[in-house]
Structure 1
Amino acid sequence: MSSNSQAVIHHFFDPETWTYTYVVYEDVGSPCVIIDSVLNYDPKSGRTKTKSADEVIAFVQSKQLQTTWILETHAHADHLTAAPYLQSQLGGKIVIGDHITNVQTVFKGVFGLDEQFDTHGAQFDHLLKDGESLAFGNLSLKALYVPGHTPACMAYVIGDAIFVGDTLFMPDVGSARCDFPGGNANMLYQSVQKILAYPSETKLYMCHDYPPATRQAQCMSTVGDEKKHNIHVHDGITEEQFVQMRTARDKTLEMPTLILPSIQVNIRAGHFPEPDANGVSYLKIPLNAL
């Protein structure tokens, strides 16, 4: 990575799922990465739309960027990824952390998927290991394994910025839930500490923001802000205190509206299930299972 290279970070906000998608690049015409895309989904009709992804595509094309990597921080439970659609329009390789295989194994059982469903991550183009780096032009990113919210969460370090996925939220929102299969509050606390060990000026880019009524949605905090003001994990909060708080809070939370379609699609790298004989793809709704 060139010491003179500076990443440009452009964000997109999907108001229906409170999700931020990022395009990171060096300059007009340079390679880029796309992080945590959104495929719009209407749970009432089962129909998908590409409005949010099309905004990303229009930006990438306007800057004449070359899409190198399409990254997921984890298998999201609150929105569907648009990675295959972006790939069809822009190229690039679809990437997720290598522990996705654990998530696939768990949810293969939850959803009763057939034997043809691969649990070795073959649906993705590349599985990242902790500490592994990927280059895109003069820039590079490093994978930072941050389990807890799920057992497969990765954060991505690019220069003085970290894309934290759901590991952390804005200081007045706190931290991610840990009650999904494979989640673990102790692991999440340790993952947060790994992120907060970076210099205080390090920029932290959120996958979501769920703002109180007193402010608009924001996508970026800093290590220093989180250490001082995060309502769940500010300096001085012990692991025991955090786990006690997180466990009690998670018991009060409802499941995300889109968890059932999202997980089934996202563990397939965004691909839909194989169509039935009538040409239609179907998702499963497990009764009394989650």
Structure 2
Amino acid sequence: MLTVEERMEMTKGILYLVPTPIGNLGDMTFRAVDILKSVDLILAEDTRHTLKLLNHFEITTKQLSFHEHNTQSRLPEIMALLNEGQSIAQVSDAGTPSISDPGYELVALASKESIKIVPLPGANAGITALIASGLTPQPFLFYGFLERKKQNRMAELENLKNHSEAVILYESPYRIKKLLSELAEVYGEAQPICIARELTKTYEEFIRGTVCEVLERTKDKVWKGELVVIVGPHEVVDLTSGEEDYSHLTVLEHVDLVISQDNLTSKEAIKKVAKLRQLPKQVVYRAYHEQ
């Protein structure tokens, strides 16, 4: 026999998270088209932009604008519709909702109210660029857009430099030259990168090389289109080299020291301490979290 809560959940609607093509309409999936045709409402970042997609696939479902500037005012209305049993699909202008696009707040609220959330797999510019970059793809860190103010951007890059993983950045054509100069300053001119432009479109382009090489080859280039910048795996300078004796420290103290000195997360510090002490990462993890 169903509980009251289970019966209530059965009467609620479903929130679908539907990726859309990042350029080539041929990348739209059959399932995505079927979902957009069947739901009661489509939440669109820009209804005019999404209308072109809907017209192409002969989708007549009603749209409602939902973007970063009206998120808070729209949430009560959308949640009321979901709780009444309506099915709703959320799309962004291009790519996957919530990834450098609106969506997180709605998903968080829907999950709290036990609304069923169904994510569809699909296009993502960052992953698409990464697998064609020629740089080691795993592990990687997705970061998206940097802040616009120079001081904040430089601080973000300095923090990212502490990570050894490949980093995925998004950038506009108006700020790409500034980003390249900032990468040269923070990472060094020899840092391998790849810039992906106009992904899946007619003029798709990949520019690979060191920061210095890319700066030289593109100094006269007029940039157009959305850009993905892959910063290759970076060798982190180890300020606590294995030659120093840490035997006087407990594992907990050692992890805390690395967090403080290198500005790392506990997860990153645990990985580093395990390497320095030549211990399995699980051992350091348990020692740190159980104390």
- Structure with the greater alpha carbon radius of gyration: 2
TM-score for the superposition, normalised by structure 1 = 0.28
TM-score for the superposition, normalised by structure 2 = 0.28
The structure with more helix, counted as a fraction of residues: 2
